[in-house]
Chain A
Amino acid sequence: MEISDSVLVKQSIEGNRDSFETLVKRYKDNVYNLAYRMTKSSADAEDITQETFLRAYRKLGRYNENYSFRNWILTICSNLTKNIFRKRVRRKEIEENYIEQEYLAEKSQTREKYEFEVALKKLRPDVRAALALKYVEGCSFEDIADILRIGVSAAKMRVKRGRDQLKKYLNKNY
């Protein structure tokens, strides 16, 4: 039977590093995915994922077991990524060229997937984050609102806007 997150947190607090490692393995994909969607960069996403878990480790005592650990750590990731964005200017063109090469080099990628990724990257980071949480994580609008620190209505609007914009970009050249 899988050990619950709150037990792993307690064991981590008591000095059991294996327990924290289990938490990292359990949620690294969730964190990485959100960071990647917000930054459009796998290198940045890696750095942010590592930093997110380090911050979570330092804040373990603030975790409330009545709250989803996944949502808690995704909130840390989202806040961290937003702070990084405020301090940095994104190099848009270089990244888009990198994306194209990255995707066309992968044999398993279809043209549709490539077009999808290009269209997705045209969206604002906060909209991409909302879409990732809704469709990849399967979060409810309440969860999305919690993680991104916005209202539920704003969460719904972001998801809808994101879908509509994606559809517009993808169908634009058809």
Chain B
Amino acid sequence: MGEMILGYVKVSQKGTKEMKDERYNDEMIEEMLEDSGRSAPEHITANVMKSLPMTKTASIQMGQIIEFWPREKWLMPAFAGAAAAVIFMGGIIMALGHVMSDKVLVTFEIAAPDAKQIELVGTFNSWEPGQITLQDKNKDGHWSVTVPLQEGRHEYMFLVDGKHWMADPTAALHRPDGFGRNNSIIEI
């Protein structure tokens, strides 16, 4: 009644049941799925970069330059002359070796008891992490670092544990970066 054939089982006339060996079993299918990934053509990166719009930051800076330039014709030669005078005087000062240092020591502090690492990142280091790290000297979650900065205006944020950005809550000024975050500002 029952007949065994390699890979086939016939049970009986009634309720005949056939089971075949499957060529593609679950394991094979999963393996093929895992191997089925496709790589993007190399030129996609270049095409994306070529299509990017001008950044908001760059366009804001361009706008500022354009607005600054005076419209009255007589002002332009006057500015050009003033700029030439500044460059000349600067050259004389540097030649005499009397270049004054314009760096000021600034201490940045933040309370972050759960953080493992905090870095200071901003316009003064081109927003590159890995350069200025705060210290939690007393192991009480109070982090600080003192850095020399040029006089002028600087924007910055704290980078917590390598990925979370925090504005400085004690900063008097903030600027939205136009993309949903607020940069802290310090003016020296």
Contacts and interface: CB of A to CB of B under 8 A. Distances in A.
Interface of A: 1, 3-7, 10-11, 13-17, 20-21, 24-25, 28-29, 31-33, 36-37, 42, 45-46, 49-50, 53-54, 57-58, 60-62, 65-66, 112-113, 116-117, 120, 131-132, 134-136, 163, 166-167, 170-171, 174
B126 to A, nearest CB: 8
B165 A32 contact: no
Interface residues of B, number: 46
Interface string B8-25: 000000000000101111
Contact of A112 (B32, B53, B126): B32
Contacts of B48: 21, 24, 28, 49-50, 53-54
Contacts of B53: 57-58
B153 interface: no
B52 A50 contact: no
B52 A57 contact: yes
A40 to B, nearest CB: 11
B64 interface: no
B55 A15 contact: yes
Contact of B127 (A1, A14, A117, A167): A14
A62 B121 CA distance: 20
A19 B127 CA distance: 11
A14 B155 CA distance: 10
Nearest to A14: B127
Given A13-B181, A167-B29, A65 B47 contact: no
B39 to A, nearest CB: 5
B33 A136 contact: yes
Given A15-B58, A66-B164, 13 more contacts: A3-B129, A6-B164, A14-B57, A25-B45, A28-B45, A29-B38, A42-B38, A46-B41, A113-B32, A116-B32, A117-B36, A134-B33, A166-B29
A6 B58 contact: no
B83 to A, nearest CB: 26
Interface string B127-144: 111100000000000000
B41 A61 contact: no
B52 A13 contact: no
Nearest to B45: A24
B179 to A, nearest CB: 3
Contacts of A7: 121, 129, 159, 162-163
Interface string B149-168: 00000000101001111000
